[in-house]
């Protein structure tokens, strides 16, 4: 590894040029010092080398953000260039020695959240997340007044090495929270809009918020104004302390599994599939672009049920997914045929999107999302599936049922 690092550092150093103070390189990447200006003469290659150095040590790239490590690499290169030094010894090349000494800590990340409300409790825990009033925090999250009712969302990161990396993990987790809430709701009408960070959705009241203001003008062919409009889109804040969301019997296990996975506890391959499929359905329902919604519906299906049997002659992906879904959610012949037909229809739209076709799109993906939601509920609640650890066990059950002609 040291040889690779040494070669990359030497090449990166050769891409730096030192110029007198006052030099103006235009749009090139540069560092201005008290007595000089250092520029990059090949920014594309330099960026590629810095990325390779970031990825060369897996532990470093897992524990620290690109922003943090890129700065360390660039600062070291600039320092050596200024002093006219080169990367000769192992110590010179061991640029992450201090980062390797950092011990893990448990850190909590707080962010403002809008689009939700608490009706009956001060704070609520949902899976790995806590939601409560911002007024009790050490520092304000925004310039909102303490009386505004602003809420925070919090998540703990159990093995934290780098503040920037912790924020990245939290941001992705907060997106998962939104997707899971939408998945649990089963709604596809875009009336659930939850946002973390700033600016927050402006509150109209404790229950309502403004999520969008639109302004339009319509003119005729000669440019004469025919009409104009300004409108606000108002939605209800979601009461996340309602038992439907925080103690949903159907999806209590899903919330528990997500919390376990986030905490680093071991869960099975099949449980991972269930979590990721639920998140994909939430993203499908959340998206305002029907193309993305269709693709995420199909992603949810494939995450949950995809399996390569490894044989030369096997059914198409759509056939295998449809058969498995029908086995889980449909009890009668007609229902199974309907499930099979619906899934294949949506897969035809997916194929058209992926291959650049112009097939007319429709809302059939909503049915697929509902089926995936039903399947996840069944897989979590029915003892019939409680021993499944990997997807091949489910496929064995499907095959056994298909060959039971009695």
Q: Which residues, at least 6 apart from 205, have a Cβ–Cβ distance to it below 8 Å?
A: none
What was the pLDDT predicted at 143?
82
Residues 62 and 162: beta-carbon distance below 8 Å: no
Q: Tokens 């999302």 identify what position? A: 369
The per-residue pLDDT for 358 is 62
CB atoms within 10 A of CB 29: 15
Low-confidence stretches of the chain (pLDDT < 70) are 1, 27, 309-315, 357-359, 404-406
Residue with the two structure tokens 């489910």: 394
CB 391 within 8 A of CB 307: yes
Q: Contact at 8 Å (CB) between 13 and 95?
A: no
Tokens of 76: 């070291």
What per-residue confidence (pLDDT) applies to 304? 96
**DSSP letter assigned to residue 203:** B
> pLDDT per residue over 156-194, tens digit each?
999 999 999 999 999 999 999 999 999 999 999 999 999
- Please state the three-class secondary structure of 150-195 as a single string: CEEEEEEEEEECCHHHHHHHHHHHHHHHHHHHHHHHCCCCCCCCCE
Largest CA distance in the chain: 88
What's the CA gap between 305 and 295, in Å, rounded?
15
Domain ranges in the chain are: 2-100, 105-239, 268-402
- 36 φ, ψ (degrees, to nearest 5): -155, 175
pLDDT of residue 239: 98
Tally DSSP H helices, then E strands, for the chain. 15, 12
Q: Read off the pTM.
A: 0.91
Coil/strand/helix, residue 89: coil
**Cis peptide bond N-terminal to 199, omega within 30:** yes
- Report the run of H or E that residue 135 belongs to, with start and end: none
| Dist CA 123 CA 151 (whole Å) | 9
Collapsing DSSP to helix, strand or coil, 129 comes out as strand
- Matching residue, tokens 């440019």: 223
Instruction: Tell me the C-alpha to C-alpha distance, in Å, between residue 51 and each of 8, 44, 57, 65, 68.
Output: 10, 11, 11, 11, 12
CB of 19 closer than 8 Å to CB of 36: yes
pLDDT at 313: 43
Give the position of tokens 């524990």: 63
């Amino acid at each position: 590894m040291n040889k690779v690092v040494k070669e990359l550092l030497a090449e990166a150093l050769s891409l730096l040029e030192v110029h007198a103070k006052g030099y103006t390189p235009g749009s090139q990447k540069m560092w201005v010092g008290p007595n000089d200006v250092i520029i990059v003469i090949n920014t594309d290659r330099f960026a590629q080398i810095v990325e390779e150095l970031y990825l060369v040590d897996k532990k470093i790239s897992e524990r620290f953000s690109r922003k943090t490590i890129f700065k360390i690499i660039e600062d070291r290169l600039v320092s050596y260039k200024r002093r006219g030094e080169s990367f000769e010894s192992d110590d010179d090349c061991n640029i992450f020695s201090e980062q390797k000494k950092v011990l893990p800590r448990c850190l909590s990340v707080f962010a403002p959240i809008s689009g939700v409300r608490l009706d009956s409790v001060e704070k609520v825990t949902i899976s790995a997340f806590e939601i409560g009033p911002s007024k009790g925090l050490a520092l304000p999250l925004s310039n909102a007044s303490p009386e505004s009712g602003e809420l925070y969302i919090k998540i703990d990161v159990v093995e934290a090495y780098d503040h920037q990396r912790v924020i990245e993990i939290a941001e992705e987790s907060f997106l998962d929270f939104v997707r899971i809430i939408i998945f649990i709701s089963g709604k596809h009408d875009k009336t659930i809009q939850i946002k973390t960070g700033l600016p927050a959705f402006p509150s109209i009241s404790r229950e309502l918020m403004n999520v969008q203001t639109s302004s339009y003008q319509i003119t005729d062919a000669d440019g004469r104004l025919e009409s104009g409009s300004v409108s606000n889109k108002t939605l209800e804040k979601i009461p996340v302390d309602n038992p439907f969301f925080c103690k949903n019997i159907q999806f209590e296990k899903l919330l528990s599994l997500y919390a376990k996975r986030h905490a680093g506890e071991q869960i099975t391959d099949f449980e991972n599939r269930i979590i990721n499929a639920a998140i994909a359905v939430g993203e499908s329902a959340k998206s305002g672009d029907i193309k993305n919604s269709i693709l995420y519906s199909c992603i949810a299906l494939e995450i949950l049920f995809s399996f390569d049997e490894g044989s030369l002659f096997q059914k198409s992906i759509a056939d295998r997914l449809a058969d498995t879904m029908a086995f889980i959610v449909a009890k009668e012949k007609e229902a199974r045929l309907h499930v099979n037909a619906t899934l294949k229809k949506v897969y035809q739209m997916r194929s058209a999107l992926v291959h650049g076709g112009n097939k007319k799109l429709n809302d059939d993906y909503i049915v697929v999302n509902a089926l995936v939601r039903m399947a996840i509920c069944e897989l979590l609640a029915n003892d019939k599936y409680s021993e499944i650890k990997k997807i091949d066990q489910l496929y064995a059950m499907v095959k056994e049922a298909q060959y039971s002609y009695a």
